[in-house]
Structure 1
């Protein structure tokens, strides 16, 4: 399985001004925007870390999922949520020759934890031996930062501020995330049941 971002989070979707205020940085100076590039990088890092921890995409963008075979031909679980739309499915043979699958043959089964691509009939299209299937889709909780739930917005701000405050610290353990952030995002984490076999 390979999940690729087709589009990145637009700069306009990131709350730079709100983040400056959160950090209590001074305003009204000629250098107001001097650190914007640095602040943007911390916001992007915080968004990415929270998405990785929860399996939820915060800001809407396009993705491409490539699979060597279906995990379950009666319905393929998507690796992230929430998925807004499946924009295309294509099957490739071992030589890379692509065949676009008719959208009438599949549909998106929406779910806050594990959305699935399911067949309209019995099974999803056959993936040739040595071939692959590519699913193009759009996922995200909101088109901009203000559209996110309040707890997710706060978690991003807290984590980005943590990265900013400890940007020179090398002694922090790998994957370090402040307790306030983990408690805010806990309810969004994917719950796996039955060892993930059916997911």
Structure 2
């Protein structure tokens, strides 16, 4: 199984105003740098937690249908498509009535609907492609408070005066969001 980011997040996990305040900067002269800093720290959060913070699209590819398809980067908001190469070599799109999203479990899974089975696929690599939309929402208004606090504290550390020690305990803010 391979999971690849197809559409990166458009919005920021914290507002630019909040990030400026955390950095103790005024004006917009460093907005580009602060935006890049927030995006980098958000990537760090996603790597450490296994989650998507801001809405983004992933593609999962598999050689065949397993019993259940493990989906990346919860929370999974929706399944955009399930496509496969049938035994005749023709790409098919699975009807959404044929599968269910288990969004309660973390990680999330895609399973056949009750009394349904996955279709047979051609014996080839990447015969199955699933596209999913992941993340808490489009911007900072939907970012969980613990994740926001972590990002803003890391921004503050980045822009702190030289010699200011970093907090080794800050990462603990992310513990409750980790997907195992």
The TM-score with structure 2 as length reference comes to 0.83
Cross-structure match for 1:158: 153
Q: For residue 85 of structure 1, report the CA deviation from its aligned partner.
A: 0.8
Once the two structures are superposed, the pairs formed by residues 171-186 of structure 1 within 5 Å of their partners are 179-186=168-175
Cross-structure match for 1:52: 47
Once the two structures are superposed, the pairs formed by residues 11-50 of structure 1 within 5 Å of their partners are 11=11, 14-25=14-25, 27=26, 32-50=27-45
1:150-190 per-residue CA deviation (whole Å, 9 max, x = no partner) reads: 11101111233445559xxxxxxxxxx95333200011112
Higher relative contact order (CA 8 A, sep 6+): 2
Cross-structure match for 1:146: 141
Between the two proteins, the alignment pairs up a number of residues equal to: 175
The TM-score with structure 1 as length reference comes to 0.76
Q: For residue 13 of structure 1, report the CA deviation from its aligned partner.
A: 6.0
RMSD: 2.7
1:124 aligns with 2:118: yes
Residue aligned with 1:46, SS: helix
Alpha carbons of structure 1 residues 21 and 98: separation in structure 2 relative to 1, 3 Å: same
8 Å Cα contact 1:159/1:178 also seen in 2: no
Out of 102, 107, 110, the position equivalent to 2:100 is 107
* 5+ long unaligned stretches in structure 2: none
Residue aligned with 1:6, SS: strand
1:82 aligns with 2:71: no
Counterpart CA distance in 1 for 2:154 and 2:175 is 14
Counterpart CA distance in 1 for 2:6 and 2:78 is 14
